[in-house]
């Protein structure tokens, strides 16, 4: 598989939890940035057909309809396969019928909304601009034109599990096919971190995770990745390519590419980017690093890692590794349909499992 990620760093407001590469929306930068983005794509893209395109940020939908038209025209140089996924991230308050029509005219077929919470107080605490009524109105509008819709949800902003239960109940009312649920992480340089916002109790966080998983699965959603749930057939093609450690382009400020075993990081410095100095780092990943990455990402998936594919790729025998055998014996890992996967009850603690693997001789 091969995908392309396009980063739009502009936001009308900086959210309190966000550590992505972003800056406040200033119209004077938009045209310059889009012109440079066009040059980067022409310079680096080799003309392959792509399985997916994902426009993220930042907040792509913060651009005006005219600016979005220019962006999508630039991206149209990228070739897509007959069966493709083309996603754009949107804030609820940005959606208009003009933007919806524009998205459809360029072949976008998936919308991802940053909702984070339906609870007005919770949303405000995170720095979001929408309220519950706006969420319902604008998602119902979008549903008239798109059937592949995702919302992002953040839990653990406070220790009240009733807020989480209400968020999941509201999501189910919307009757859309995909949700990404993330526990709040206090990343450095975020407003929450700077203001010394306190993390919630780990046991309560785990209880929230379990409630979300059990409730969504009982309503027909496939828990296909640690933080992601989808109705059958609506799993994210683009993100699944990441978890399978596939190849992808990354265009724009701070974007990352993974191509032919090279991990390429773009600069996060807008001044350098606008001068055409796109790349800040290019690392060749050796076999050991690739093995570790395949395991780290693959074990996030509920189906796990295809053992034959891994063995053939690395000329090894995964199940003969001491650390893997020990984790299977301890019931942290299991083999199902020739896939090595995390036991469901330990999926939440996947990082500690990975530490045991990576610290071993692969």
Report residue 362's pLDDT band, with 50, 70 and 90 as the boundaries.
low
Q: What share of the chain is helix, strand, coil (3-state, %, to 5)?
A: 45, 25, 30
CATH topology of domain 2-241: pyruvate-formate lyase- activating enzyme (3.80.30)
CB contact set of 66 (below 8 Å; sequence gap of 6+): none
Q: What integer is the mean pLDDT of 249-266? A: 97
- Tens of pLDDT, residue by residue over 75-87, are 999 999 999 999 9
Domain limits, the chain: 2-241
Residue 192 reports pLDDT greater than 90: no
Q: What integer is the mean pLDDT of 82-110? A: 97
- Tens of pLDDT, residue by residue over 177-189, are 999 999 988 888 8
> Which pLDDT score is estimated for 115?
95
What is the per-residue burial (b if ≥16 Cβ within 10 Å, else e) of 27-42? eeebeebbebbbebbe
Nearest to 169 by CA among 224, 118, 114: 118
Percent of the chain with pLDDT over 70: 99
**HSE toward the beta carbon, residue 16, CA cutoff 13 A:** 19
- Tens of pLDDT, residue by residue over 60-73, are 999 999 999 999 99
pLDDT, mean over the chain: 93
Give me the residues paired with residue 249 across strands: 4
**HSE toward the beta carbon, residue 342, CA cutoff 13 A:** 24
Q: Is the Cβ–Cβ distance between 266 and 280 less than 8 Å?
A: yes
Q: What integer is the mean pLDDT of 288-296? A: 92
Q: What integer is the mean pLDDT of 124-141? A: 92
Report residue 293's pLDDT band, with 50, 70 and 90 as the boundaries.
very high
**Euclidean distance between CA atoms 97 and 178, whole angstroms:** 22
> Which pLDDT score is estimated for 127?
85
Instruction: Quote the Cα angle for 234-236-237, to 5°.
Output: 110
More confident residue, 361 or 118: 118
Nearest to 205 by CA among 238, 182, 235: 182
pTM of this structure: 0.94
Three-state DSSP class for 29? helix
> Which pLDDT score is estimated for 9?
94
**Euclidean distance between CA atoms 353 and 67, whole angstroms:** 45
């Amino acid at each position: 598989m091969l995908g392309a990620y396009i980063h739009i760093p502009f936001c009308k407001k900086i959210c309190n939890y966000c550590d992505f590469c972003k800056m406040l929306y200033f119209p004077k930068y938009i045209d310059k940035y889009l012109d440079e983005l066009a040059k980067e794509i022409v310079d680096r893209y080799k003309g392959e057909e792509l399985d997916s395109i994902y426009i993220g940020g930042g907040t792509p939908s913060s651009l005006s309809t005219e600016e979005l038209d220019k962006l999508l025209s630039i991206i149209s140089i990228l070739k897509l396969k007959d069966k493709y996924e083309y996603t754009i991230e949107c804030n609820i308050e940005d959606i208009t019928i003009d933007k919806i029509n524009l998205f459809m005219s360029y072949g976008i077929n998936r919308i991802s909304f940053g909702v984070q919470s339906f609870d007005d107080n919770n949303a405000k605490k995170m720095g979001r601009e929408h309220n519950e009524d706006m969420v319902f109105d604008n998602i119902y509008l979008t549903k008239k034109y798109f059937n592949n819709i995702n919302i992002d949800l953040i839990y653990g902003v406070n220790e009240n599990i009733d807020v989480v239960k209400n968020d999941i109940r509201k999501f189910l009312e919307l009757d859309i096919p995909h949700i990404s649920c993330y526990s709040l992480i206090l990343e450095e340089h975020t407003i929450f971190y700077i203001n010394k916002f306190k993390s919630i109790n780990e046991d309560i966080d785990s209880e929230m995770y379990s409630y979300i998983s059990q409730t969504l699965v009982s309503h027909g959603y496939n828990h296909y990745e640690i933080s992601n749930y989808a109705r059958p057939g609506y799993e994210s093609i683009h993100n699944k390519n990441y978890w399978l450690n596939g190849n992808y382009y990354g265009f724009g400020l701070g974007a990352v590419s993974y191509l032919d075993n090279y991990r390429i990081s773009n600069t996060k410095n807008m001044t350098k980017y606008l001068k055409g100095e796109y790349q800040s780092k290019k690392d060749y990943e050796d076999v050991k690093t690739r093995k570790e990455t395949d395991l780290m990402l693959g074990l996030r998936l509920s189906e796990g890692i295809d053992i034959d594919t891994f063995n053939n790729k690395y000329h090894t025998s995964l199940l003969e590794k001491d650390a893997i055998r020990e984790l299977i014996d301890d019931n942290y890992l299991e083999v199902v349909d020739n896939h090595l996967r995390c036991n469901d009850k330990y999926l939440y603690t996947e990082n500690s499992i990975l530490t045991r693997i990576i610290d071993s001789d692969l």
